[in-house]
């Protein structure tokens, strides 16, 4: 605390154990060589680490990072910063030493607004609750990416680490710290909505060098299956995949137990486990083992529960001498198109709505809706691929349409669903007429039956009755003939009903009144 107070007060701490307060260097109005200042500051920082408390050291580092951007390549204007540096340089009091034993760095190459670290060994042994502790920026690399640090109180305090951008935000996969040699991580690629990481080293503010290249070595997989016990060399050696992993693949041709260890190309160097290991095959599962270099074959790793065509990836890390047995991932559910169409028959001028829906695949669905007249070969787009699942459109003609709904997932796989919609002309309308509304007894009246809309194929029925009666008489039951003559027998008032029926069975009626005089 005395040192921390001394730094923050610019060398003016009345409780200072120095006895005499040093006079800070006054550079007001002067310019000094930037490189001299940087070298001096860096040297003080390094010396400070050995004698200062952690809080004091971090306070000074923050000052360094705060003001260093004001230093040009040739000159710098120094004020409070130089005073504090001088104060620290002359400080000789007793201080508490807390060495920093474990630090990991995150290079923010995805430009997250905030960075958190979540570290744990178990649900009850963790650095902080999710999303973890918020990290401070400690530097910037040559690519312009900010660097953040998380500190553990002791070396190896936590075995697992996740970097994230906050609750419900982007995050890395779980990082097993025992598997990495470098002390820094940056984003690789996305996997299952989480980012994989790449490992490198960070030298406390300097640009991280690339991770060390493993020693080139030709390795082969030797294995046997139960009841054979003859070690067999694979046709191909371990090879590097696109992620730089050294990998060999084994595909089972039976359900027998698979046991293996690793040989180099001289057939004299073995890489085996010290004790026999057993692993049960399950899609998507994996297990990592540490191998030991031996001059003779040691114990093997055995995988049980294989079936014909089961696939194992064996991933070897020459830096850590670890091998990971990874079972083939479970095949994802096949993409299925569950889209629906609102109607099979509509009237001309009405709309039809497609509700696009999918399951399975890799998610991230987009939907395309296309239609055409059944007599045509050319499709029109109601919607090209978009994430909108509800698509409404209005067919222009009274005919039969084919509709195709396409669902595409994030991998580009497409599943189709087809529908048929019949578009009828406008609603059936009875446009019949009567030749007269008054006639003399013995004369006739003519009904001109006519219709529009509906589904066509019209037939006509004409019925009449005295207005005082309830029983109708048929002048014509449903026929295609559209001109019907009616001759009333009495000098009274008659009701006449004309019925029109289309091919779908829809009926439209129209009524007339006819007066018959003497």
Token pair belonging to 439: 């006639």
Angle at 158 (CA atoms; ends 152, 160), nearest 5 degrees: 125
Is residue 125 a contact partner of residue 156, using CB atoms and an 8 Å limit?
no
- Picking from 341, 391, 392, the residue whose alpha carbon sits closest to that of residue 366 is 391
Average pLDDT on 3-23 reads 39
In the predicted model, is pLDDT for residue 19 greater than 60? no
Q: Are the C-beta atoms of 356 and 407 separated by less than 8 Å?
A: yes
| Mean pLDDT confidence for 142-155 | 82
CATH 3.90.175 fits 219-327, yes or no: no
Distance CA 53, CA 314 (A): 47
- Joined tokens for residue 369: 């809706």
| CA 75 to centroid of chain Cα atoms | 49
Q: What is the pLDDT of residues 370-420, one digit of tens each?
A: 999 999 999 999 999 999 999 999 999 889 999 999 999 988 999 999 999
**Predicted pLDDT of residue 401:** 96
pLDDT given for residue 79 in this prediction: 43
Alpha-carbon distance values, 234 to 220, 239, 286 (Å)? 7, 12, 21
Q: Which of 6-10, 66-70, 113-117 is predicted with the least confidence, judged by mean pLDDT?
A: 6-10
71 vs 482, higher pLDDT: 482
- What is the rounded distance in angstroms from the CA atom of residue 511 to the CA atom of residue 446? 14
Domain 429-517 matching CATH 1.25.60.10: the answer reads: no
Q: Which CATH class is domain 336-424?
A: mainly beta
Residue-wise pLDDT for 101-123, tens only, equals 578 899 998 899 999 999 998 87
State both tokens at 474: 């048929």
Hey, how many other C-beta atoms are within 10 angstroms of the C-beta on 78? Answer: 21
CA-closest candidate to residue 269, choices 235, 231, 296: 296
Residue pair 291/262 in contact (Cβ under 8 Å)? The answer is yes
Residue 421, Cα to own-chain centre: how many angstroms? 35
Q: Rounded to whole angstroms, what are the CA distances from 145 to 148, 206, 327? A: 10, 12, 36
Closest CA to 487 of 440, 432, 431: 440
Please say whether the beta carbons of 271 and 321 come within 8 A: yes
DSSP 323-343: EEEEEPPPPPPPPEE--EES-
**Better pLDDT: 488 or 229:** 488
Is 240 exposed, middle or buried, given 0-12, 13-18 or 19+ CB atoms closer than 10 A?
Answer: exposed
Q: Where are the beta strands (DSSP E) in 121-269?
A: 133-134, 136-140, 146-152, 160-164, 175-176, 184-191, 194-200, 219-225, 232-233, 239-240, 246-251, 258-264
Rounded-to-integer distance, Cα 69 and Cα 350, Å: 67
| Average pLDDT over the chain, rounded to an integer | 77
Find the helix or strand (DSSP H, E) in which 272 lies: strand 270-272
Cα angle 21, 24, 26; round to 5: 155
pLDDT of residue 29: 41
Report the SS3 class of residue 36. Answer: helix
Contact status, residue 314 vs residue 250, Cβ threshold 8 Å: yes
CATH class of domain segment(s) 102-200: mainly beta
Q: 265: helix, coil or strand?
A: coil
DSSP letter, residue 211: P
Per-residue pLDDT reduced to its tens digit, 431-458:
999 999 999 999 999 999 999 888 788 9
Regarding beta strands 184-191 and 102-107, do their DSSP bridges make them parallel or antiparallel, or are they unpaired? parallel
**Chain region(s) in the chain for CATH 2.60.40.2550:** 336-424
Closest CA to 302 of 403, 226, 217: 226
pLDDT in tens, 183-232: 899 988 765 668 889 988 876 544 444 444 444 556 666 666 665 555 55
> Is the pTM value of this prediction over 0.95?
no
Q: Are strands 258-264 and 219-225 parallel, antiparallel or unpaired?
A: antiparallel
The whole-angstrom separation of Cα 148 and Cα 105 is 6
Copy the structure tokens of residue 29.
Answer: 């109005």
Locate CATH 2.60.40.1080 in the chain.
Answer: 429-517
């Amino acid at each position: 605390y005395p040192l921390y107070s001394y730094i923050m007060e610019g060398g003016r701490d009345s409780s200072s154990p120095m006895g005499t307060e040093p006079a800070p260097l006054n550079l007001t109005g002067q310019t000094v060589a930037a490189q001299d200042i940087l070298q001096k500051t860096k040297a003080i920082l390094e010396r400070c680490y050995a004698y200062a408390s952690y809080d004091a050291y971090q306070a000074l580092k923050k000052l360094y990072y705060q003001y260093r951007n004001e230093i040009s390549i040739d000159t710098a204007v120094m004020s409070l910063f130089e005073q504090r540096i001088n104060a620290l340089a002359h400080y000789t009091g007793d201080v508490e030493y807390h060495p920093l034993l474990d630090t990991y760095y995150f290079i923010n190459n995805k430009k997250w607004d905030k960075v958190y670290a979540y570290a744990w060994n178990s649900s009850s042994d963790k650095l902080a609750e999710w999303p973890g502790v918020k990290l401070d920026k400690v530097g910037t690399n040559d690519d312009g990416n900010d660097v953040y640090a998380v500190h553990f109180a002791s070396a190896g305090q936590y075995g697992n680490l996740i970097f994230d951008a906050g609750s419900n935000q982007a995050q890395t996969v779980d990082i097993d710290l025992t598997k990495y040699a470098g002390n820094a991580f940056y984003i690789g690629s996305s996997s299952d909505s989480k980012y994989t990481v790449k490992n490198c080293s960070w030298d406390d503010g300097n640009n991280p060098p690339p991770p060390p290249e493993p020693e080139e070595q030709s390795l082969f997989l030797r294995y046997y299956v139960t009841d054979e016990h003859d070690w067999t060399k694979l046709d191909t050696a371990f090879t590097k995949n696109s992620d730089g992993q050294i990998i060999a693949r084994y595909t089972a041709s039976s359900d027998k137990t698979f046991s293996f260890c690793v040989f180099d190309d001289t057939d004299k160097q073995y890489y085996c486990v010290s004790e026999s290991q057993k692993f049960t095959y399950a899609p998507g599962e994996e297990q990592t083992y540490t191998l030991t270099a031996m001059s003779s074959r040691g114990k093997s790793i055995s995988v049980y529960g294989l079936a014909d065509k089961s696939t194992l990836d064996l991933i070897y890390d020459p830096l850590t001498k670890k091998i990971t047995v990874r079972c083939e991932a479970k095949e994802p559910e096949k993409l299925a198109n569950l889209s629906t169409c609102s109607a099979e028959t509509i009237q001309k001028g009405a709309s039809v709505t497609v509700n696009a829906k999918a399951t399975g695949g890799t998610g991230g669905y987009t939907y395309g809706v296309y239609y055409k007249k059944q007599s045509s070969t050319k499709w029109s787009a109601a919607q090209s691929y978009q994430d909108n699942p509800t698509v409404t459109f209005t067919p222009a003609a009274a005919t039969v349409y084919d509709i195709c709904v396409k669902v595409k997932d994030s991998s580009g796989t497409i599943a189709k669903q087809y529908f048929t919609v019949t578009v009828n002309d406008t609603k059936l309308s009875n446009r019949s007429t009567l030749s007269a509304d008054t006639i003399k007894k013995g004369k006739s009246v003519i009904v001109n039956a006519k219709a529009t809309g509906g589904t066509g194929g019209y037939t006509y029925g004409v019925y009449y009755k005295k207005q005082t009666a309830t029983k109708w008489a048929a002048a014509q039951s449903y026929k295609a003939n559209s001109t019907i003559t009616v001759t009333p027998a009495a000098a009274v008032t008659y009701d006449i009903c004309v019925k029109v029926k289309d091919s779908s069975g829809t009926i439209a009626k129209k009524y007339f009144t006819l007066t018959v005089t003497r």
